[in-house]
Structure 1
Amino acid sequence: MKSYLPPLRALQAFEAFGRLGSVGGAAQELGVTSGAISQQLKVLEEYLSMKVINKDGRRAALSDEALAYHRLVTEGFDRLRMAQTLVQRAKMGADLKVSGLPTLLLKWLNPLLHDIQSHLGDVPLRLEATHLEPDPDMTAEMFRLTYGNIAQRFPHARKLFTDVCFPACSPALLKEHPEARSVEGLLHMPLIDIDWGPAYRTVPRWADWFSAHGLEEAAFKPVAVHSLSSSALEAAAGGQGVVLAQQSFARFDLELGRLVRLAEDSLPMPEPYYVCWGETTLHQPKAREFLNWLMAMGRDVSTDMQDI
């Protein structure tokens, strides 16, 4: 058996054919003729002494024996493409890309960015707010800010902070309904609920708040249910009702007087928030500096929680 690798051109043609599913598609991507792709596939078959292509009339597909081989070859080419992307980003001074859950970016990260932007020089931040978690290899992302054990699917993850939540409303609503500061009074208030969806069933909601205060069978009906914490906070700031607000998200609204905290005690979130990144992320310009700053901001949140 040969101990060295097959010709790179043959492997490249094989990888492209298996991924795209046709000789024509592989030829177009690699900028060669269909005949050249077919020739390289024959070279690989001769080298491996194994049939890699099955033909059925005019259709061709990978043979069963070649499928596992193709998966490994594809992983290798993915790494090569990742390396090329890394070099191109370094030459171009690529943006520092941060993907995150929408409210985490809007209500926690965004108000803090003025503290780091001057240190990033000419490397701009590109923020992408999305619930959709990126590919675990993080090939298209730099940093991902997310919640809970989903963070463990990424190559690297560090805990930022564990949040707490408590009732809050607008000053005007509290002035009109001072009874809102009591648990029993809250039952008669317009309650704004937040539902993140079935993947986050353990996140505290109003039923959990009342249960934690001895009202397990409390009867209430929310006036609205929001899928985004940020929109629920805005509704509360607008006087529409009382929201079960997270400290990290409501911090600046509380400081600006748009919201008022109604209880001294709080409920902890069941899981922490995390920052995640890929294998090559910290090779990017200013990426390590940004990560260190982000971790420091997370520690500040944790300190604030202890002071509550």
Structure 2
Amino acid sequence: MKSFLPPLRALQAFEAFGRLGSVSSAAQELGVTSGAISQQLKVLEEHLGAQVVFKDGRRAALTPEARSYHEMIAIGFDRLRAAQDVWMQQQSGVDLKVSGVPTLLLKWLNPQLHHFQAMAADVPIRLEAAHAEPDPQMLGQMFRLTYGAVASRLPHSRPLFTDICFPVCAPEFLERHPEARSAEGLAGLPLIEIDWGPAYTGVPRWRDWFAARGVDPGPIKPIAVHSLSSLALEAAAGGQGVTLAQLSFASFDLQLGRLVRLSEDALRMPEPYYVCWGNSTLDQPNARAFLNWLINAARALPV
């Protein structure tokens, strides 16, 4: 009587073949011969009683039915690889791992991380910038800094701050365009837009800024649109125009004099930024100290 599940080696060969698209690539990744991959694919077909690979011209490809099967198998192997990453991290000597949305890590956390490291000397910290949220079951060994309602999907979360937005530009740009200090003057200047995508339509943009100031700028045609706030800030610091910046992202550049805040008026972000963690995160050495430091750092932001 056959086992309900196919042999693991056959599933591993099938997953690698479907993901990489060729027998030779799967063989190279798994450290076996191409013949071994082909043999395991035949083992899988015999177990399933159906064909999973066919010849598409000169190359092999998954059958339509096998593609659906592969999508589900791949999820399982992704989880296995994630579990291995967590294990390797535990063995690597890294005490703290912090994942976060890229600009929040780059522009807010990283410039002040040395303050924590001065308190907790010799604590290795690994920063991973990623838009995609981690698997809640794999969060146990890390902190996650994220924005908005997605935080509720993770085991534990705490709001850090609700940011504010205001226009900024380079000092040299302001010297050339002193009219940038007023909303009316801004309407005629090069504007740099930030667009996080359709999932974040409530995040303030230039049309919201002008509407709040009671100014009709006409059709807004930005000179550039960036999906990353950090790229828009760099464009503004380079003198390309004016962007609508979040205080947490722009604070360090404002302190350095790379950017100038053009108005004391501000728009509030619709949702807070959060720190999230898993059920076993605080069991890690130094994790609780880092969480306390992070919360205090967020309180110091004048939003």
Shorter-chain TM-score bucket reads 0.7 to 0.9
When structure 1 is superposed on structure 2, of 209-218 and 253-262 the one drifting more is 209-218
User: Could you tell me how far apart the structure 2 residues matched to 1:167 and 1:24 are?
Assistant: 56
Which residue is 1:284 aligned to?
A: 284
Which one-letter code corresponds to 1:95 in the other structure? D
**Given that residues 207 and 218 in structure 1 are in contact (C-alpha distance below 8 angstroms), is that contact kept between their aligned partners in structure 2?**
no
Offset from partner CA, 1:19-45 (integer Å, 9 cap, x none)? xx42353999xxxxxxxxxxxxxxxxx
In the TM superposition, what are the counterparts of 1:214-225 in structure 2 within 5 Å?
Answer: 214-215=214-215, 218-225=218-225
Percentage of pairs with the same residue = 62
Offset from partner CA, 1:37-85 (integer Å, 9 cap, x none)? xxxxxxxxxxxxxxxxxxx994169xxxxxxxxxxxxxxxx9xx98xx6
Q: Give the number of aligned pairs.
A: 243
Q: 1:191 to 1:137 in 2, by over 3 A?
A: same
**Given that residues 192 and 241 in structure 1 are in contact (C-alpha distance below 8 angstroms), is that contact kept between their aligned partners in structure 2?**
yes
Q: 1:26 to 1:262 in 2, by over 3 A?
A: same
User: Could you tell me how far apart the structure 1 residues matched to 2:257 and 2:296 are?
Assistant: 26
Which residue is 1:65 aligned to?
A: none
Query: Is 1:59 the counterpart of 2:59 in the alignment?
Result: no
Q: 1:107 to 1:98 in 2, by over 3 A?
A: same
User: Could you tell me how far apart the structure 1 residues matched to 2:240 and 2:95 are?
Assistant: 39
Q: 1:183 to 1:126 in 2, by over 3 A?
A: same
User: Could you tell me how far apart the structure 1 residues matched to 2:45 and 2:219 are?
Assistant: 69
In the TM superposition, what are the counterparts of 1:104-183 in structure 2 within 5 Å?
Answer: 104-139=104-139, 141-183=141-183
Aligned Cα RMSD in Å? Answer: 3.1
Offset from partner CA, 1:243-269 (integer Å, 9 cap, x none)? 101111111111111111111110000
User: Could you tell me how far apart the structure 1 residues matched to 2:250 and 2:92 are?
Assistant: 37
Q: 1:169 to 1:244 in 2, by over 3 A?
A: same
Q: Deviation above 4 Å: which 4+ runs of structure 1? A: 85-88
Q: 1:92 to 1:259 in 2, by over 3 A?
A: closer
Could you tell me which runs of 5 or more consecutive residues in structure 2 were left unpaired when the two chains were aligned.
13-43, 50-78
Bigger radius of gyration: 1
TM-score (normalizing by structure 2): 0.72
**Given that residues 161 and 299 in structure 1 are in contact (C-alpha distance below 8 angstroms), is that contact kept between their aligned partners in structure 2?**
yes
TM-score (normalizing by structure 1): 0.71
Which residue is 2:226 aligned to?
A: 226
Which residue is 1:7 aligned to?
A: none
**Given that residues 167 and 261 in structure 1 are in contact (C-alpha distance below 8 angstroms), is that contact kept between their aligned partners in structure 2?**
yes
Q: 1:131 to 1:141 in 2, by over 3 A?
A: farther
Which one-letter code corresponds to 2:167 in the other structure? P
Q: Give the superposition deviation at 1:138.
A: 3.2
**Given that residues 98 and 142 in structure 2 are in contact (C-alpha distance below 8 angstroms), is that contact kept between their aligned partners in structure 1?**
yes
